[in-house]
Every structure is written in structure tokens, then in C-alpha cells.
Amino acid sequence: MTITTRCRLPLLLACAFTALSAFAGLGASPAQAQSSEWAGKKLVVGIHNRTPWAYRDKDNKVVGIHPDVIRAVFAPLGVKEFEFVVSDFGAMIPGLLASRFDIIASGVAITPPRCEQVLFSEPDVAVGDSLLVKKGNPLNLHSYEDIAKNPKVRLAGGRGSENTKNAIAAGVPESQIALFPNNEAAVSAILADRADVTTLSVPSAIGVIDEQKVEGVERAVPFKGLIKPNGQPAKLYTGTVFPKSSAKLRDAYNAELAKLRASGGLKPIMEKYNFTADEDAGAITTAQICAGNG
């Protein structure tokens, strides 16, 4: 645990009040007060060691889209020191609630039940379905509709997977779908010419190409997935997670995240980890998602 000038977050509420009182007396601008309030502090960050979200590379450095995003967002606030703690995915929010972490930055989807427990930043990435196709995308597949309208296309689906359910809901006949036990088997079917395409989540697709280095397949980009009855795409939206006691820090984070997006600074971070324009979070807000309108 850090002490004195390195007061740990979220133990900053008391520190923040004192700091703001002092700076108000000096007539500091809100930006200066905010920077001084958090400058030099260390954040303990929960991650679950999973590509492409947050993981340790071969040099034991913590990388991934969310560590890179929080480094970029927190830098203007003067927070540059992070202690990353690996946890099981299901233990991260309980760990945050038990004050073992200050924040979570590891691919946690914003959902109404989670919104009752914790605070989320505004969405940074939208995660939906994706298609893996043969290299060069010879059948020019960019949507479930493209698969449905060509009865010769063979879709390798995952048994019980949400992605396959979405394909069926979007109109792909079950007669065109062969079910496989896992992603590896579905990809192998494409490579063996027993299937033309498979549907899986964006992170899983990135993992196949980036982590497993499978040759002979590629993502079909752009891709249009299932559109829900409310007109929203069937996607999950991720964000940085804060305890309820850290609303002020979350708000400061959101302000800097908005600046990063507006400046185009989020795009190269996404591209570094093979996220595409399809994964842009767009204009949807955390408030909408928490209210069940995502």
C-alpha cells in the first residue's frame, strides 16, 4: 500500500476534499485542481490476463487494449503509476468491492446488473459477433444476410454459442449450419474446406489470428450482425470499472476519454490490438446501457 503523497485510490475522497479546499483558496482552475488532486497517485488495477483485453506479454509487461487506454486517459490527470493484479474474471468485481483494486480495466461488459454494483466509464469498445472466412473472403461475406441469401454457404457454428443463436435469429437457416464443440474445431473445418465461414465473438476472432497465429483465415470486415428489435446492434459495450465511492474519479476519467476519442487517439490503440471500426462504441452512453436500452 502506498502512503503520504502516494495515497491509494479510492481512498482519495478524503484526500480530494482537503486538496480541493486548499486549491479553491488559491484560485486554481478546475483543470489545475483536478490534475493536482490525482497527480502522483498509484492505481491498483484488476485484470484477468486475457488477449486482447489485458495480459502479460513475453517480457512480463502488462499490455492489451484496456491497459493502453487507461494509460492514455489517466496521463493528463497525472496518474502514471499502475499496479496490475491478475484475477479470475468472475472475481474481479468482488475484488473491487472488497477494495483489493481501485479500478478494473480488462474487458468487462457494461450490463444493468453490474451497474447496480459498480460504476462504469463511458463505453470504449463495442463487442459483437464477427465472421472468420477463408483468406481473401472469396464468397464476399459481410453479414448474416449474405450467408442466408446464398444456400451454398456453410456456416460452422458453436454448440450453444450466442453467436450461432444470433446468426439463426438474423435469418440463417439451420440447414446451412454445422455445429462444432469449440472455436478451434470450427476454424479447422474452414481450413479443411468442410465449412466456408464461422461466427464467433470479436475477441475470440482476434485471438485466433493474433494469438494462435492461424493462417488461411481472416476476419470479414466490415461485418453487420444481428439488429435487435429496439434497433440497436446485438453488441456488448466495455468500459473501465470503478467502485461507487469513486464517482469523481470516474467523471474525470470520462472527460479525458472523450478528449482521447475526439482527438483520434483511441483509434490507434484499437488498431494495435486488431480492433476495427466495427468495434467503435459510437454514441451510445453508459446510462442508456445501464437502463437496459443498449
Report pLDDT digits (tens) over 87-140: 999 999 999 999 999 999 999 999 999 999 999 999 999 999 999 999 999 999
Reply yes or no on domain 4-126+236-290 having CATH 3.40.228.10. Answer: no
Closest CA to 250 of 241, 238, 262, 260: 241
Which 3 state secondary structure label does DSSP give 255? helix
Q: In the CATH hierarchy, which top-level class contains the domain 129-219?
A: alpha beta
pTM above 0.85, yes or no: no
Mean predicted confidence (pLDDT) in 14-18: 37
Q: Are 126 and 138 in contact (CB under 8 A)?
A: no
pLDDT band at 32 (very low <50, low <70, confident <90, very high): very low
Give me 129's grid cell: 459477433
Could you tell me where in the chain the CATH 3.40.190.10 domains are found?
4-126+236-290, 129-219
Residue 264 has pLDDT above 60, yes or no: yes
Which cell is 103 given? 479500478
Instruction: Give the span between the Cα atoms of 62 and 109, in whole angstroms.
Output: 20
CA 233 – CA 261 distance, rounded (Å): 21
Angle, vertex CA 194, rays to CA 180 and CA 227, nearest 5: 60
